[in-house]
Amino acid sequence: MEEEEEERESLTLDKSLEAKYSKELDVAVRAVQMACFLCQKVQENFISKSNNQVHSKDDNSPVTVADWSVQATVSWLLSESFGSKNVSIVAEEDVQSLSKAEAAGLLAAVVKTVNNCLAEAPRFGLQGPLIPLGTSEVLEAISRCNSNGGPKGRFWALDPVDGTLGFVRGDQYAVALSLIENGEPVVGVLGCPNYPMRKEWLSYHHRYHRIISKLTPPTSESWDKGCVMYARRGSGEAWIQPVIQGNKKLVWPNSARPVNVSSIENPALATFCEPVEKSNSSHSFTAGLAHSVGVRKQPLRVYSMVKYAAIARGDAEIFMKFARSGYKEKIWDHAAGAVIIEEGWRCGD
């Protein structure tokens, strides 16, 4: 009797959670799909025109039009969907350098990029602005992402372009959005516009992939077909759907399928992920640690939170990162991916 009662309580809790976060998950998936669409357009411009619109922040990390544009777009969409007074956002970018007089051209490019993206909102199932946003409205949307977060209350965590270095090189990057309530990530959405549908392609250089994708028939699962993964806390499910290509409309959730982590338990058969850049993690240290626990396969080195996507889909089993001294991890670098992997693990349990 006690077991039956516990099971009924668990089912009631799951349904309550589903009802509670259904709109948040729906809007988040659609917003990240739009952000991926925006990033693809900007990245194509980088590659085709050798556009050097890369800027450095105070910590010397790179930032582009896409970073600010995605932050403005997602911020605006969340505020319109839930009301600006009800939305609190922690995000990576601010408007300090964007507001300087010498950045007028950059700001104009951000405003144009945001409005071009929001004009496509109806085919993603969201409502765009009746008239294009002005400069002040775009800056307000970016600066609205100034929450301090914390262990109480509700806020969104956004990394508009995680892995900007990979982004500007035409390689891997991610858009990460999560909802955090009372210190617990409850919704996670991870957009990976360049994550190939075939695992083996991850081992090759991104330029090789782009050549191959041009030679491959359009019906195949090619390099430029990305994905969006998402999960809701307590559901025991994680899902994956393709990034919308061309002028297609988003069909959601019908376009999604379950995804779960690898069932490999033998370290000799496991693959571990680590950052591409040596400055972000000690490759020699992780190699030594991997060898000591019996891992024998070559590491999978990818930019950004795509490492979480690789583990969630079962393309790798371990994520190791040992950052340089003084480096501080940010919540937007992990929250979305953590929810997806944990629920994907429960799904396969």
Is 162 within 8 Å of 331 (Cβ atoms)?
no
Is 341 within 8 Å of 319 (Cβ atoms)?
no
Report for 7-16, 65-74, 213-222: range of highest mean pLDDT: 65-74
Q: Which residues, other chains included, contact 174 with Cβ-Cβ below 8 Å and sequence gap of 6+?
A: 159, 161, 162, 163, 190, 191, 192, 304, 305, 306, 309
Architecture in CATH for domain 2-260: 2-Layer Sandwich (3.30)
* pLDDT value, residue 329: 82
64, 73, 113, 164: the catalytic one is 164
Of residues 183 and 221, more confidence is placed in 183
User: Is 164 assigned a catalytic role?
Assistant: yes
Q: Is the pLDDT of residue 213 over 70?
A: no
User: Is 159 assigned a catalytic role?
Assistant: no
64, 67, 159, 315: the catalytic one is 67
- Please list the residues that pair with 181 across neighbouring strands: 154, 184
Q: What is the pLDDT of residues 125-180, one digit of tens each?
A: 999 999 999 999 999 999 999 999 989 999 999 999 999 888 888 888 999 999 99
Question: Which residue carries 């806020």 as its tokens?
Answer: 155
Q: Is the pLDDT of residue 315 over 70?
A: yes
* pLDDT value, residue 5: 53
DSSP 115-152: HHHHTTGGGGT----SSPPPHHHHHHHHHT-B----SS
pLDDT band at 209 (very low <50, low <70, confident <90, very high): low
* Angle, CA of 344, 274 and 272, to the nearest 5°: 55
* pLDDT value, residue 273: 86
Mean residue pLDDT of the chain comes to 84
pTM of the model: 0.87
* pLDDT value, residue 286: 83
Encoded tokens for 37: 């669409």
* Angle, CA of 215, 216 and 218, to the nearest 5°: 120
pLDDT band at 6 (very low <50, low <70, confident <90, very high): very low
Q: What is the pLDDT of residues 46-76, one digit of tens each?
A: 766 655 567 766 555 678 899 999 999 999 9
The two beta strands, 238-242 and 227-232, are: antiparallel
Encoded tokens for 189: 């959405």
Q: Is the pLDDT of residue 184 over 70?
A: yes
* pLDDT value, residue 325: 74
